């Protein structure tokens, strides 16, 4: 069984003080909620402070990006070794990075290689633009993104993929549960072809794009969807807590687990 995962991508929001306050509230609200992996991805500058607060918590830490070189004269960049020192997860290839920072499939591939080399768990983002969706090119686009991102990479069950249609990000216009399930099923099929049925069964695939406490259930009750990568709504502790709790109820309708299912 794939363990559900709810990840908060805080993007370029929160000062260190605000991040500390938000994570404290999240931890208080999620104390006893197990069986769902909970990940927060604050800005780099807050990672060390947030890590301290997560010591006794089941909430895990992720970064939003990194550079693929290990160290050296790359002013302003953060290396995989630095991220691995603090985090377990890292978001790679978010559409905002592809769009505003010209991240090509080749760069995403280099970053993924660097991430796996240091033992971080990648959350690889893929998704089509509105105009691509409208002309029925979704499958073609996500297939090409998978192919270029994963080229030459030994994918294991540790890989996490987030399907985030660009038209749904920050727009308040989420995909429907059915739409997201269909594309995620398709992505899982591609993973099976690229690797194996077994790996495709293990890889967690999340939906992202205008997910909130009001619509999370519609996504996590779908067969193929293993959780969500949440932007705006993850900046409100109450929303994040509610999304995790609803996911727990949907995944374990009768017997909620009494301890986390993953040994970290």
Residues engaged in binding ligand 13P (CB under 6 A) = 9, 94, 164, 169-170, 208-211, 229-233
Q: Which residue is nearest to ligand 13P (CB)?
A: 231
Length of the chain: 264
| CB nearer to ligand 13P: pick between 9 and 246 | 9
Q: Which of 228, 156, 166 is CA-nearest to residue 198?
A: 156
Least distance to ligand 13P from the beta carbon of 95, Å?
A: 7
* Annotation says 164 is catalytic: yes
Nearest-angstrom CA–CA distance, 85 and 51: 10
Task: Output 97 or 190, the one with its CB closest to ligand 13P.
Answer: 97
CA distance 185 to 200: 10
Question: Could you confirm whether 224 is annotated as catalytic?
Answer: no
How far lies 192's CA from each of 68, 154, 174, 222, in Å? Answer: 27, 13, 27, 19
Helix or strand (DSSP H, E) at 180 = helix 177-194
* Cα atoms in the 13 Å half-sphere on the side-chain side of 7: 33
Nearer to ligand 13P, 200 or 229 (CB): 229
Distances (CA, A) of 187 to 19, 99, 153, 157, 194: 33, 22, 16, 14, 10
Q: 161, 179, 182: which is closest to 224 by C-alpha?
A: 182
Least gap, CB of 256 to ligand 13P (angstroms): 26
Nearer to ligand 13P, 34 or 208 (CB): 208
Of 96, 128, 164, 218, catalytic: 164
Q: Which helix (H) or strand (E) holds 98?
A: helix 95-100
| Least Å from the CB of residue 232 to ligand 13P | 3
CB of 182 to ligand 13P, least distance (A): 19
Q: Which two tokens stand for residue 96?
A: 């905002």
Q: Closer to ligand 13P at the Cβ: 44 or 252?
A: 44
- Which of 70, 77, 157, 68 has its CA nearest to residue 121? 157
Residue 125 near residue 168, CB atoms below 8 Å? no
Residue 44 CB, nearest approach to ligand 13P (Å): 16
CB of 214 to ligand 13P, least distance (A): 12
- The span from the CA of 76 to the CA of 65, in Å, is 13
Nearest to ligand 13P of 92, 200 (CB atom):
92
40 — alpha (psi -120 to 50), left (phi > 0) or beta? beta
List residues with catalytic annotation: 94, 164
């Amino acid at each position: 069984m794939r363990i559900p995962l709810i990840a908060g991508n805080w993007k370029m929001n929160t000062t260190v003080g605000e991040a500390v306050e938000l994570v404290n509230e999240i931890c208080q609200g999620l104390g006893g909620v197990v069986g769902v992996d909970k990940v927060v991805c604050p800005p780099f500058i807050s990672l060390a402070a947030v890590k301290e607060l997560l010591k006794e918590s089941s909430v895990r830490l992720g970064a939003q990006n990194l550079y693929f070189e290990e160290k050296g004269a790359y002013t302003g960049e953060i290396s995989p070794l630095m991220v691995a020192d603090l985090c377990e997860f890292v978001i790679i290839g978010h559409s905002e990075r592809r769009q505003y920072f010209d991240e090509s499939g080749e760069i995403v591939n280099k970053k993924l290689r660097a991430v796996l080399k240091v033992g971080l768990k990648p959350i690889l983002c893929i998704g089509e633009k509105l105009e691509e969706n409208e002309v029925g090119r979704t499958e073609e686009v996500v297939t090409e993104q998978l192919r270029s991102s994963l080229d030459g990479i030994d994918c294991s069950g540790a890989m996490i993929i987030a399907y985030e249609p660009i038209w749904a990000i920050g727009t308040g216009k989420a995909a429907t549960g059915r739409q997201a399930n269909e594309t995620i099923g398709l992505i899982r099929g591609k993973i099976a072809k690229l690797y194996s049925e077994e790996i495709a069964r293990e890889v967690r695939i999340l939906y992202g794009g205008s997910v909130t406490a009001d619509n999370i259930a519609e996504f996590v009750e779908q067969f193929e969807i293993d959780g969500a990568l949440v932007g705006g709504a993850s900046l409100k502790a109450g929303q994040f807590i509610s999304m995790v709790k609803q996911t727990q109820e949907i995944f374990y309708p009768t017997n909620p687990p009494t301890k986390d299912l993953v040994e970290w």
